[in-house]
Amino acid sequence: MMSCKPFLVCGILALGFQCLDAAQAPAGSTEAAIPVDREPRHRVAVADERLRVLEVRIPAHDTTLNHRHDHDLATVNIENGPTRTWSTPDGWGGVRTREVGGVNVTEYTGQASAHIVQTMSDKAYRLTGVENLKNSGWTTHGPIEGQYLAVVAETRAFRAYEMRLPPAVTMAHTHAVPVVVTLVDGSVTAGPAGAAALTESGQWTIAPPEVQHRVQAGPAGARIVEIEVR
């Protein structure tokens, strides 16, 4: 039994509350963790040889399994219930609240890392996640340019743009790499022929490389995030 009573344990760890935290933390390590695609709150919606799209939804007051990320990951926050994260050797980190529509990018390729995520309120935590499955050889094309868009994150594996389109405005451009387009707010029609209508926060579509794609905002405008998978 791990417990905080004896000085044997707490004396070694020096601080009683650390000891309590350690005793409550689930056992786990990167080796013991399951891959992210087997964690039930991370749904692999699409996968090909270059990328995977993960629909992440952690309900309120819920805790994920200990899971491992093996590939560089970019996420767009859709629902921002506060969370905390447990990992070895640090244990539980502080509570974090992300900004809705904010982009977070982590480099896991070649440095896999495992963690547990816990929601800390009555609010769920929801993300659209994009994994770049390349182990090396990421492309180095420059960014697209245009009105209404800004680069908000850039790493070896991704470049993310935030686009805030006024009502009914259409943008057309071509990316050198595949792009995951996620709706944060408003509505858009996105894509080449057979365009996808995105009307709910978190809906997404993939635009293929080297093909001009159009994004047309709906009557209330649109806030979208485009993630290039480099």
In the bound state with Zn ion, the residue whose beta carbon lies nearer, of 87 and 182, is 182
Alpha carbons 185 and 198: distance in angstroms, whole number = 10
Pick the stretch among 5-13, 19-27, 45-53, 218-226 that binds Zn ion (CB under 5 A).
218-226
Residue 184, sorted as left (phi over 0), alpha (psi -120 to 50) or beta, turns out to be: alpha
Check binding of 226 to Zn ion (CB under 5 A). yes
Interface with Zn ion in residues 101-130 (CB under 5 A)? none
Query: Pick from 169, 172, 147, 149: which is nearest to 159 by CA?
Result: 149
Stretch of residues binding Zn ion (CB under 5 A), selected from 96-104, 117-125, 151-159, 221-229: 221-229
* Shorter beta-carbon distance to Zn ion: residue 68 or 213: 213
Nearer CB in complex with Zn ion: 162/226? 226
Smallest gap, in angstroms, from Cβ of residue 99 to Zn ion? 22
- Using Cβ positions, the residue closest to Zn ion within the complex turns out to be 226
Cβ proximity to Zn ion: between 133 and 144 the closer is 144
The least distance separating Zn ion from the CB of residue 4, rounded to whole angstroms, comes to: 54
Structure tokens at 199: 């009307």
Q: Return the range that interacts with Zn ion (CB under 5 A); candidates 123-131, 148-156, 190-198, 222-230.
A: 222-230
Q: And the tokens for 67?
A: 């899971």
228 binds Zn ion (CB under 5 A): no
Instruction: Measure CA 114 to chain center.
Output: 15
162 binds Zn ion (CB under 5 A): no
Strands of 42-47's sheet in order across: 42-47, 51-58, 125-132, 73-80, 103-106
With b meaning 16 or more CB within 10 Å and e meaning fewer, what string describes 66-77? Answer: bbbbbbbbbbbb
Binding site for Zn ion (CB under 5 A): 226
